[in-house]
Amino acid sequence: MHTDEISDISERRNWFYPVGQYFEFQLRTCENAQIRLAEIPKREETNGYDINLMNSISSIVKISDSSIQVSKDTPLLLDCTVLRRFWITWSQGVKVGRGRLNSDVLLDLQDATPVAIAAIAITTPAITAGGGEWQVKRDTGLCLPLKSYLKYSFYALLFVTQRSVLLLRLQDPMQNLSF
């Protein structure tokens, strides 16, 4: 899914309702990707956690209390040409890793007052050269529809529980969302 053409970050977020307490995905981007674990979907002022994956310093920050955070140097974490596999869990703190689920933990945030996660938002910021491509496991949950912006169309998708990958990719603004 390419999200680099829409300038307002709240409008670029693609939201999912998770069916479990984890999120698995593959990502191709040059510099930066953002994931929001949210208590309430599609609301910028919601409580939850912001996760930034970068080729410099990656982090997890609690939205309601930025003093609750963890960061780590992550050089060469992302790649412009190769899809890299990542995962996030939030059943016992918020953990971010790469590779197979629950392996190679990059970030681990323990929170004494954890937030109940009801939705996940993904985006590749417009400042990132070349945008980004996301591949999300089909059994992740329901993808929420976004409003139509100019010539962009977004559709609601129900991911089934089969273990396979659905690629969402926004192409040229004059084209439709393709699968």
Provide mean pLDDT across the span 69-73.
97
Mean pLDDT of the chain: 75
Residue 45 has phi, psi (to 5 degrees) of -90, 10
The DSSP output letter for 149 is B
Q: Where are the domains of the chain?
A: 9-164
Q: How far is CA 29 from CA 2, 19, 101, 108, 145, in A?
A: 10, 26, 20, 22, 23
pLDDT per residue over 18-39, tens digit each? 888 999 999 999 889 999 999 9
Q: 0.95 exceeded by the pTM?
A: no
Provide mean pLDDT across the span 107-117.
96
**CATH 2.60.120.200, applies to 9-164:** yes
Provide mean pLDDT across the span 42-55.
92
CA distance 104 to 74: 13
pLDDT per residue over 123-149, tens digit each? 887 555 567 888 887 666 555 544 333
Share of the chain above pLDDT 90, in %: 51
